[in-house]
Amino acid sequence: MRTFAMAMVFTLLVAATGSAAAQQPDPLNPVLFLVGRWDGAATSTYGPYHYHNETVRRGNWLVGSGEAHPDQPGAAPIMTTTVIGRDEAGHLVLYLFDAGGMWRFAGTADSGGVTFEWREAGSFRRTRITLQPDGSVRQETMAHLPNQQPPLPKEVTAESVQHPAP
């Protein structure tokens, strides 16, 4: 009887733990709208370009692979990889990798979308990403890069609208 009672208590504890875990909100919920394949057009300080991105979920992270194809003849595409998740303190983060290196962005989410920001030694870059009513994703980026050397601009902006790709 004592063994049966212990087994019942253990079973109830496991069930309670499981249901508590099931009620935990998904830590990636604010950015899950980014999962998928996206194609779109953009304008920027550097000129117009077309953007292709695919974002997948890998455990507690979203991993994105993007290609920006400038409309200028002979311009090379810009390849990026992004990794979005939560750091050990539970804060939303985005890691961006491209030919220029790696950046860590702090993220915030609200009912309209997500914002990622990077700051270092007087430079900053802020990107706002929102899900539009038609299912597209709008991205607006602003950067202040005082250490860029001419002919590169010190102020950079970009806007894109990306639609689900077939």
pLDDT in the model for residue 13: 45
pLDDT in the model for residue 47: 94
Out of 3.30.70.330, 3.40.190.80, 3.30.70.3280, 2.40.128.20, select the CATH number for domain 28-164: 2.40.128.20
The span from the CA of 13 to the CA of 32, in Å, is: 31
Cβ atoms of residues 94 and 82 within 8 Å: yes
pLDDT in the model for residue 136: 97
Written as six digits, the tokens of 82 are: 């992004």
pLDDT in the model for residue 152: 87
Query: For residue 137, how many other CB atoms are within 10 A of its CB?
Result: 21
How far apart are the two ends of the chain, measured CA to CA in Å? 61
pLDDT in the model for residue 23: 79
Give pLDDT tens digits for 52-89.
999 999 999 999 999 999 999 999 999 999 999 999 99
Ranges of the chain whose pLDDT falls below 50: 1, 4-17
Domain-wise residue ranges, the chain? 28-164
pLDDT in the model for residue 59: 96
Query: For residue 23, how many other CB atoms are within 10 A of its CB?
Result: 7
